[in-house]
Structure 1
Amino acid sequence: MKVGVFGGCFNPVHHGHLRLAVEALEILGLDRVELVPTAIPPHKGQRGLLPFGLRCRLVQKALHGLPGLHCSLVEGGRPGPSYTGDTLEELARAMPGSRLFFLLGVPDLLTLPSWKDGLALTRKAHFVAVARQDMALETTREFVRSHWPEADETVYPGWMKSPGNMVCEWRLGPGSGNILLIRPPYLDISATMIRDYWSAGRDIRFFLPDLVLAELTRKRRLVERYWAKQEARSDVGQVGGVKARPPRGGCIHGR
């Protein structure tokens, strides 16, 4: 079974996340995609971050009626920071024999050497870099060649003509997964923007599924306890708090 792994804070989950999950499912021919809310982000603070249980409920509601997409609670079952390597190992144990495809943005891929276990993580999963622009091919190619000079490269024809397909694949060698580059359509929606709209009392319909909006509204008092801090920080020149990074899924990356 081919399983996509798409992690992030999902604070909150929105249509940009869902579209990327659907694109990965189809472009890579996956059997399923696991959206993995992070419990304790190791590389950023938890200020403004909704409780893990609520974020998971929001993801579950967002996935209603979307076959092939699932919410994994794996990171909520262990203490300490939510490191990518630990998550990949747990998912591999839970789905023996599966091939894991870990989704991240090209800028996150470039920081891989600084992650916990760094480049060795490619032995636990294939890494799928998500491009926002055509130049990502050269950037990713340079990164791969600098760390895996013997990698075998395949560039797929027709990728420049339209988004929504595979761009390139690098086979890193025995014992390692591959690095793949895809270029799905990019929806310019971020969790930061949604939180800013919420704090300002603006309409956030069509940024996220109706069921997610309904749950946020139902939990308004709890949500405002966390997101109101975003507004407070804007008074000192930090509008919206920590920048969300849509195609990378946020917090699971860079760890």
Structure 2
Amino acid sequence: MKIGFLGGSFDPVHFGHLIAAQDVLEQFHLDRLLLVPAAQAPLKPNDIQSTVEDRLAMLRSATEWDRRLEISDYELRKGGISYTVDSVRHFRTQFPGDELFWIIGGDQLPLLHKWKEIGALVRLIDFIFLERPKHPTKPHVEIDGLRLHRCDGHLIEISSSELRSRVQAGRSLHYFCPQKVIAYIESRKLYR
């Protein structure tokens, strides 16, 4: 099987995340795609404002109808800083004979050399990168053994931090997030 993993804070999940997932599913003919919310991202220490429960509930409400997408709460249950190499080792034991892909935004390529145990990580999994608006990608990365695949996706400029700022300013999230996510944010008074 071909299995993809899309990590992130998902605080909140938005159409940029979901369209990226769909683009990768379709272009790489993945059998499964797991969304992997981070407990705490090492290179974005202040990126999470909602509780684990709230982020999981928003992800579930955004994807519950789509059987192609699954949610892994592995990093949330583990807690602490979420290092990709630790998660990939875990997933590699769960899916030992499968072809695994870690999906990243193109803006992460220049930072990839800073990832924990990147040499070990690239031996465990292939990477798929998507370009992000305002972050032109230079796919030439000097990491021995890196297997890097480009996904030509729909470039949508949305960030979770921008959406949190919109809520704080009293502005609408309509057309940025699924309606169920917006309703959840409003009901829980998140990001205020």
Instruction: Give the match for residue 54 of structure 1.
Output: 54
TM-score normalised by the chain length of structure 1: 0.69
**Counterpart among 178, 183, 187 of residue 147 in structure 2:** 178
Identity percentage of aligned residues: 31
Aligned residue number for residue 83 of structure 1 = 83
Alignment partner, residue 247 of structure 1: none
- What residue in structure 2 maps to residue 166 of structure 1? none
> Is the counterpart of residue 208 in structure 1 residue 177 in structure 2?
yes
Report if aligned partners of 2:2, 2:100 keep a CA contact under 8 Å in 1: yes
1:112 equivalent in structure 2: 112
CA distance in structure 2 between the partners assigned to 1:213 and 1:47 by the alignment: 19
Deviates most, 41-50 or 74-83: 41-50
Matched residue of 1:4: which SS? strand
Report if the CA contact (8 A) 1:35-1:71 is conserved.
yes
Q: Which has the larger radius of gyration?
A: 1
Deviations 1:20-74 (A, max 9, x none): 0000000001011111110122233347521112101111111021121111101
- Aligned residues between the structures: 191
Letter of the 1:140 partner, please give it.
P
Q: List runs of 5+ in structure 1 lacking aligned partners.
A: 149-171, 229-255
Which residue in the other structure is 1:196 paired with? 165
Q: Partner letter of residue 4 of structure 1?
A: G
Aligned-residue Cα RMSD (Å) equals 2.0
Match in the other structure for 2:40? 40
Amino acid at match of 2:110: L
Bigger drift between 25-34 and 190-199 goes to: 190-199
**Cα distance in structure 1, aligned partners of 2:60 and 2:177:** 13
Structure 2: distance between partners of 1:22 and 1:44: 25
Deviations 1:86-139 (A, max 9, x none): 111112222332221101122312222211102331111111121248x63xx2
- Residue 139 of structure 2 corresponds to 140
